[in-house]
Every structure is written in structure tokens, then in C-alpha cells.
Copies of this chain bind each other. A is one copy, B any other.
Amino acid sequence: MGRASKGQATAATAPVIIMVRPQLGENIGMAARAMLNCGLSSLRLVSPRDGWPNERAQRAASGADIVLEQAEIFETVGEAVADLEHVLATTARNRELSQRILTARHAATEMRGWIGQGRRIGVMFGPERTGLENDDMVHADTALSIPLNPQFSSLNVAQAVLLVAYEWSASGDTTPVERMAEHATRPATKEELQNLFEHLERALDQSGFLRNKDMRPSMVLNLRALLQRAQMTEQEARTFHGVIKFLSKGKHEE
């Protein structure tokens, strides 16, 4: 077993991930990658089955080496959580203890609150085969459960780390829920669309497509609604002017 360092006073800007008695190196590595994907980097391992360091973990980390290099190793859960002020424990079901159980999403919100007060937080994950035992759970303030398909809820431990880390990251994320690809030009203004619609309608009048006077008004409205729905960029409106011009060329020359 590697060094059994004392938990250092972690800069309390994000939760620590604690893997308890992990069995497969691959899962440790995939968990490290998932953590770094979500901006987490503090990993603690309690009694990893195959010792430490672990080559399979390194291969599975796919570049998240920094997380593995800085990982701290402990012999017991008690030592691994000693310097923390709040501990959450992931559990598929809680067998005996009377604990609050939070969804992963709500837990992320609570963790943001604690971290905002400078508290040191950890989230524990159990071994692949059995999950956390009661003797582990008793170190936790709160249980955390990820709502999943009740008919098939057995989640790989690295996937569980990903979902908890993702909810943490999402709880602080400010990405606009909808945007346009960055290289896209600005959206067309309503005046630009108006000009485009009029160009199209002139061309359609000349071509005879709108010759039925009774049908014309609803035809025009429907075409405008269709094109408006496409939410054209200014560049696309110009392209479309060209499309109309070239399609109607023959007609002009007639």
C-alpha cells in the first residue's frame, strides 16, 4: 500500500472524491478522467485492492494523470474523512441507518452552499461488488442517491463518480441553455427578412406560382412562417437572395 498521508487542508473550492476499497484499476482511472472532465481533481483512495500506484488506472485515465498523481491513499475511511466537515455517501439503498437521502442534483446544490462557506466536503463511493457497508456509511452526514431505472439500477462506480461530478459542475455552470455556433454570423434582422420575403414573392408573382388571387394571401403567409421558423442568419438571408435570383433567372429572360 502507498503512503498513508494525513488529509491535507484542501482548498475548499470543490468536493473531494473518496473511493472506498476500489477493486478495479480501470474504474479508478475512468473515475479520475470523469472527475477532471467536470473540474474536480482531489481524489482519495481507501485501501485500493490492487495497491497503489496502479498501471491499469493510469491507462484508463486517458490523460487525467494529474488526478492520479495527486491521489491520497488511506487505510481506513475514518482517516480519509478526518479533516472534512461534511461527508456524503452514495448508496443504492441504505440498509439500517436513519439518514437523509438526497438526489445527486439536490446534493450538488447543498454542496455549493457548504463550499460557499469555505467548508471541506467529501463524497464517498463504495467498492464495485458490494457498495458501502454500514460501518462506512456511519462516517457520512448524508446519503446521496442517483435516481435511475429501478429495473436496472446497478451503476458502474466510475459512472457514479461521473454523474455526481457532473451534477456538481452543472450546479455552477452558466453556459446559456441555447446558443448559436460561434462562427455563425448574427441572426438576420426582421427588416432583412422582410426584404427577402418580398424578393421571393415578387419572383413567385412573375413565375405565375401565386396567380390564384384567392389562394395568394394564405400562401404568402405560410411561406413567411416557414422561412421565419428557420431563424436565418444575416449571411443565410443573403445566400437565399441569391437562390431566388438564380432560380428565377429563366423567368426574367422569358
Contact = CB atoms under 8 A, between A and B. Distances in A.
Interface string A182-208: 111100000000000000000000000
Given A63-B152, A147-B169, A181 B98 contact: yes
A143 interface: yes
A148 interface: yes
Interface in A135-164: 143, 145, 147-149, 152-156, 159, 162-163
Contacts of A95: 183
Given A37-B155, A163-B162, A166-B163, A106 B149 contact: no
A102 B181 CA distance: 10
Contact of A38 (B33, B148, B176, B233): B148
Given A62-B154, A101-B178, A147-B169, 6 more contacts: A98-B184, A100-B180, A103-B176, A103-B178, A163-B163, A166-B166
24 contacts: A30-B156, A33-B156, A37-B154, A37-B159, A62-B156, A63-B154, A94-B181, A94-B182, A94-B183, A95-B183, A101-B181, A103-B176, A103-B178, A143-B181, A145-B175, A147-B169, A147-B170, A148-B169, A149-B169, A159-B159, A159-B162, A162-B162, A163-B163, A166-B166
Interface of A: 30, 33-34, 36-39, 62-64, 94-103, 105-106, 143, 145, 147-149, 152-156, 159, 162-163, 166, 169-170, 173, 175-185, 231, 233, 235-236
